[in-house]
């Protein structure tokens, strides 16, 4: 997980166990001060990436499609 976008982005490690794992389990305990937007970037494949949106507890999302690409 990263706090900046791109193949060489800045790793985000707050509350994360096993960040950068290639075979295993990544565990993320989302903290109250987590940024609202984070990025996934595979370290082996530049085209495997995405945006992670951290929502407040009371936020309502009608469907996952509402988040977009």
Report the 10 Å Cβ neighbour count for 54. Answer: 12
pLDDT of residue 58: 72
Q: State the virtual CA torsion across 4, 63, 19, 6 in degrees, nearest 10.
A: -30
pLDDT of residue 59: 72
- pLDDT tens for 12-39 read 889 989 887 878 898 989 888 899 998 8
Q: pLDDT band for 64, please (50, 70, 90 cuts).
A: low
Question: Angle at the Cα of 23 (from 42 to 63), degrees rounded to 5?
Answer: 55
pTM of the predicted model as reported, rounded to 2 decimal places: 0.64
Q: What backbone phi and psi angles, to 5 degrees, belong to 16?
A: -105, 130
- Residue percentage of the chain with pLDDT more than 90: 9
pLDDT of residue 29: 92
Hey, what are 34's tokens? 């987590």
Q: What backbone phi and psi angles, to 5 degrees, belong to 64?
A: -60, -25
């Amino acid at each position: 997980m990263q706090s900046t976008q791109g193949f060489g982005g800045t790793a985000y490690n707050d509350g994360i166990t096993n960040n950068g794992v290639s075979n295993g389990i990544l565990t993320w305990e989302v903290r109250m001060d987590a940024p609202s937007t984070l990025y996934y970037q595979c370290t082996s494949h530049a085209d495997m990436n995405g945006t992670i949106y951290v929502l407040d507890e009371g936020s309502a999302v009608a469907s996952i499609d509402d988040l977009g690409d």
